[in-house]
Amino acid sequence: MISITLPDGSKLSAENGSTLFDIIGQIGKSLQKAALAASVDGEAKDLNFVPEKDFSLKVITFKDSEGKKIYWHSTSHLMAQAVKNIFPKVKLAIGPSIDEGFYYDFDAEKPFTPEDLASIEKEMTRLSQENIAIVRSEIPVTDLKKKFADMGETYKVELLDAINDEMGSVYTQGNFFDLCRGPHVAKTGDIKAFKLLRVAGAYWRGDEKNKMLQRIYGISFPDKKELDDYIRLQEEAKERDHRRIGKDQHLFEVSNEVGQGLILWAPKGARIRVLIEDFWRKEHYKNGYEIIYTPHIGRSLLWETSGHLSFYKEGMYSPMDIDGEDYYVKPMNCPFHVMVYKSEQRSYRDFPVKFAEFGTVYRYERSGTLHGLLRVRGFTQDDAHIFCRLDQITDEILAAFNFSMFMLKKFGFENFKIKISTRPEKEYVGSVELWDKAETALKEALQRSGMSYEINEGDGAFYGPKIDIAVKDAIGRDWQLSTVQLDFNLPERFDISYSGSDGKDHRPIMIHRALLGSLERFFGILIEHYKGAFPVWLAPVQCIIINVSENEAEGVKALQARMKQEELRVDIDLSNETMGYKIRNAVTSRVPYVAVLGKKEIEAGSVSVRRRGSDKPEVMSCDDFIALIKSENN
């Protein structure tokens, strides 16, 4: 018999030779049915794995992030099997799971069509219904190379060339087998509901010098309802796509003449940006920050000292020669803030020292990864750096965290996911004792905040632990926004110090802090969160005033001028179109209010108002209408 320890500390026994599937059946039939794989002493294994000694067990289901990856990776193999059955000459490359679903790269003679995807899905359904066993085996790498070479699978041979081990693992399902570490689900029938989403081009190994392959993306779930819900969510996401809304509402542009990944803020989008920035600056001054401005370029010496040229050069653009010296456009603002700190002698009494900046940075991104406002090459960070003593960390972390929550709630976000990322196992700077104190400070700060959080073991940066805050948008998607990050590295690299109460020099702790992330990405998220229907205080146009006939044109202009004097954002439509057309056009632009002035309204000093989302007009005095908008303009 062998002994199995469960996550709650309880134990059970099983006969030698029992598979994980059999062992899980002892816990419960429903859990056995939901199981996709299992963790044996922390290592994921297939359900047909036979443990040979006592071990700790954790069952992996689709509810677990690891379970989703296993399920999606298994589906990528099912798709590859279907593709090979239909198109035998296609060569296989790689087929991993991704954050949401899976893909597989194929070298095919001609592009896959929508009709091809339908045929592949049909074949996947047939293979799933056959309920074929998925079996893992280990084979000598030399034998695998020969087998794949004989099959013409040159990409698999290239992958094997990079393996130093004598043995390689493969998974077989019927007439198909593939190079893979696993684990996988036990049978093709375990893969219930799937959808192939799209085809895209992808260079082999991500290198533009290599051949362009065809990448088929897909998604799968254990039941059809989950798949249907996902598809509905994707349709809603398309309706909210910030690129489409941004174009329809003239918020921003991306121009080939300017360059991909570089954003042009159109007047209406720029108006929203100004509103965000003005609010941000006001609140930062209230919270004890000093706002600074730093250059867009810096000498190579600065980036050598900071370590960016050693650790981040692939993300930086080529240097420019100025007076015989190399200068780089900045990928980050941190070194400049350190230099502002160094410009004065600091005392322990000065702390905390807080610098904030809307700093525009430039980072290289591959053209294939650029995506509207969400992935760009030039963006503006709402960056801040706090310099403090070790004994101040908890208070400053809590203050930065609370500030983040306040800002995010102001922009309409209410649901949050919070994580603390701790010390990496191997490469990190600073002592273990310092890391332990810092991680304890982060935990204490969040405990004092009353917010729940998760621990992301070993995922901290090499220079310090951090708190990440993700928000859920209106349709339940998670977006990573705020970060509060401790840094033991830059203070050491730049040799910054302060004079302590003992008269000696001490090293301060540096905290990196971003509340919104980048303005571009944050704006893209806001567009999708609100579906372009911004709240009154953020709307670039709060009201459109429409005339019934030419006789009211001057009255419309007068009301607009009056409202602008009250610092309200008002457009007018005096075109020759019908009133119905003008109202529909205004409603389509998603302004909060549409005001109509006719003869009766002019005479009564009133206005007929349509609120966004309502078909029923309300008649109110111009004074009351102005007061209404002003009440919502905070």
Which residues are known catalytic residues? 334, 363, 381, 383, 385, 466, 512
First to last CA, the chain: 69
Tokens read off for 400: 């930065």
Q: Does the bond joining 88 to the residue before it have cis omega, within 30 degrees of 0?
A: no
Q: Give dist(CA 548, CA 479) in Å, integer.
A: 44
Q: Which residue has the tokens 């099959």?
A: 151
* Residues 503, 423 contacting (CB under 8 angstroms): no
The answer to whether 19 and 49 are in contact (CB under 8 A) is yes
Q: What is the dihedral of CA 181, 184, 186, 190, to 10 degrees?
A: -160
Joined tokens for residue 412: 């309409």
Decide: 217 and 198 in contact? Cβ < 8 Å: yes
Residue 305 φ/ψ, nearest 5 degrees = -65, -40
Distance CA 602, CA 547 (A): 10
CA distance linking residue 60 with residue 186, whole number of Å: 13
The whole-angstrom separation of Cα 332 and Cα 463 is 15
Helix (H, G, I), strand (E, B) or coil at 476: coil
Which residues, including other chains, have CB under 8 Å from residue 619's CB and lie 6 or more apart? 601, 606, 607, 608, 609
Are 146 and 139 a contacting pair, CB within 8 Å? no
How many Å apart are CA 610 and CA 618, to the nearest integer?
6
CB 282 within 8 A of CB 634: no
Do 13 and 4 meet the contact criterion of CB atoms below 8 Å apart? Answer: yes
SS3 349: helix
Give the residues across from 97 on adjacent strands: 102
Partner residues linked to 545 by β-bridges: 572, 595
Give yes or no for a contact between 220 and 101, defined as CB atoms under 8 angstroms apart.
Answer: yes
C-alpha dihedral, 389 to 393 to 396 to 400, nearest 10°: 130
Query: What is the radius of gyration, based on Cα positions, of the chain?
Result: 30
